[in-house]
């Protein structure tokens, strides 16, 4: 018999049940994908779609719909009740075909629980040194939220893989991202908050390595109604927009020399 235990660190000899411990699960996951591989896949896709739901079946269908739209990445928010079970279910069902991460993680314990549930990357709304340290311990990529230059510097110094600029709509948007990129050219930025099909290309052209989206793809109403085909259409459109923006940015770089 097999069960997953998020706290146990050994074998239950009294029952004969084999317990999958933190160490076992993380070691096995690390064999499949390194932290660097994870971040490269995120940058390649250019989009991190997030879902918020307490319904495991709904979450799996939403993730499958997003994958069908050409985006093989999903971020499961830990804010709703039962979120860890949702993350665990998605990881069990789709880890072979999707890169699965946890969002709205605010502390080290959240990182630990997400890792044991199958997350390969962590997204935080703000900066937490403890969360960054725990992500490193588990070999997970971490994208930490920041808004001010001081927060960006602090997150970068702590060794985050990317800074999640959040919330973009409240900070000056594309112009603010450009200003930060000018001061911190070595920092990778993931733009998030108020980004959709109408403005995602601007953020990519401004230098974001990826964007984070939520209801712009997986809104509550569509998921509750079972309209998962809508999510596939939105994913396809956003993926194409990112590709178009990158093509234009590469063309401009070739013609005028980016960063000179």
Which residue numbers are catalytic?
75, 164
Question: How many residues are present in the chain?
Answer: 260
The owner of tokens 């930025």 is: 189
- CA 106-107-110 angle, to 5 degrees, is 90
- Best CA proximity match to 130, nearest among 116, 109, 145: 109
| Alpha carbon 197 to its chain's center | 18
Residue 185 CA to residue 49 CA, distance in Å, equals 25
- Best CA proximity match to 6, nearest among 94, 107, 85, 90: 85
Backbone angles phi, psi at 211, to 5 degrees: -125, 155
Task: Take residue 212 and report the two structure tokens written for it.
Answer: 């984070």
Q: Do residues 195 and 216 touch, judged by C-beta distance below 8 A?
A: yes
Residue 245 CA to residue 212 CA, distance in Å, equals 15
């Amino acid at each position: 018999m097999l069960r997953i235990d998020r706290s146990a660190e050994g074998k239950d000899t009294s029952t004969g049940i084999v317990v999958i411990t933190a160490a076992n699960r993380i070691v096995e996951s690390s064999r499949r994908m390194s932290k660097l591989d994870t971040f490269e896949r995120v940058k390649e896709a250019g989009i991190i779609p997030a879902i918020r739901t307490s319904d495991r079946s709904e979450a799996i269908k939403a993730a499958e719909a997003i994958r069908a739209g050409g985006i093989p990445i999903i971020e499961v928010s830990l804010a709703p009740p039962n979120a860890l079970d949702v993350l665990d279910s998605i990881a069990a069902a789709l880890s072979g075909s999707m890169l699965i991460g946890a969002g709205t993680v605010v502390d080290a314990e959240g990182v630990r629980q997400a890792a044991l549930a199958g997350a390969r990357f962590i997204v935080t709304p703000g900066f937490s040194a403890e969360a960054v340290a725990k992500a490193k311990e588990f070999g997970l990529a971490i994208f930490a939220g920041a808004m001010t230059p001081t927060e960006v510097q602090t997150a970068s110094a702590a060794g985050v893989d990317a800074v999640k600029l959040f919330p973009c709509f409240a900070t000056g948007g594309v112009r603010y991202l450009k200003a930060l990129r000018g001061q911190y050219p070595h920092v990778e930025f993931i733009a998030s908050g108020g980004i959709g099909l109408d403005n995602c290309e601007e953020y990519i052209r401004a230098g974001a390595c990826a964007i984070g989206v939520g209801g712009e793809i997986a809104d509550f109403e569509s998921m509750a109604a079972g309209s998962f085909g809508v999510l596939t259409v939105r994913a396809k459109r956003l993926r194409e927009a990112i590709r178009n923006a990158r093509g234009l940015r590469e063309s401009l770089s070739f013609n005028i020399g980016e960063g000179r």
